[in-house]
Structure 1
């Protein structure tokens, strides 16, 4: 489980930082917080689209779906929040 999180973090580090900054922004919309919570629950949930017990294939759904979900949320940020978080992301 820890290995899965470290691999995901490596893949989406920049997007994850931007999402973190967006969540902490005073004008962060409620849907953003719910979406981030949904992603976290999916990662922590033992139920996956493809079970993790299958070698390699079991992790693929996490490696594909989680970055796509994070990117999807970030693309829907209000422009002023997106610009500020991109500036902070560096």
Structure 2
């Protein structure tokens, strides 16, 4: 099928959606290869989204960014050198957007988890 503009429609095989279980699996699996900085930012977003005062729009931003991080086949596949570059860009954008909801308590919770994984 061809559209009015003469282009074929794009077929998307996988839906981009967030799963808390998949998040923890990905974070634990990727902790060493993705690096502390990226994992720290992912944890900030995760814990910020769990705050009761975080509005729905902010949670949607978090879950979209974390869903992208979880996605195994994204713009730059994670298994190649530099494969987390695109993930870091998406996560950094979400962190900047949600800066007001990433308080010291959120950072402390993330730090506790990081200390367990990275020492």
What TM-score bracket applies, with the shorter chain setting the length? 0.5 to 0.7
1:17 and 1:51 mapped to 2: Cα distance? 21
Q: Which has the higher helix share?
A: 1
User: Does residue 56 of structure 2 align to residue 58 of structure 1?
Assistant: no
Matched residue SS, 1:42: helix
Aligned length: 79
Q: Which has the higher contact order (CA 8 A, sep 6+)?
A: 1
Structure 1: 4+ residue segments shifted above 3 A: 5-9, 15-21
Match of 1:32 in 2: 58
Query: Structure 2 vs 1, CA of residues 74 and 56 (structure 1 numbering), >3 Å: closer, same or farther?
Result: same
Change (3 A) 1:31 1:61: same
Superposed CA offset, 1:53-75 (max 9, x none): 5x31323222x314413422323
TM norm structure 1: 0.59
The verdict on how the C-alpha distance between 1:25 and 1:68 changes in structure 2, with shifts beyond 3 A counting, is: same
Distance 2:36 2:92 in 1: 14
- Give TM-score scaled by structure 2 length: 0.48
- What RMSD, in angstroms, separates the aligned Cα atoms of the two structures? 2.8
TM superposition shift of 1:27: 1.8
Question: Unmatched 5+ residue regions in structure 1?
Answer: none
* Partner residue of 1:43 out of 69, 73, 77: 69
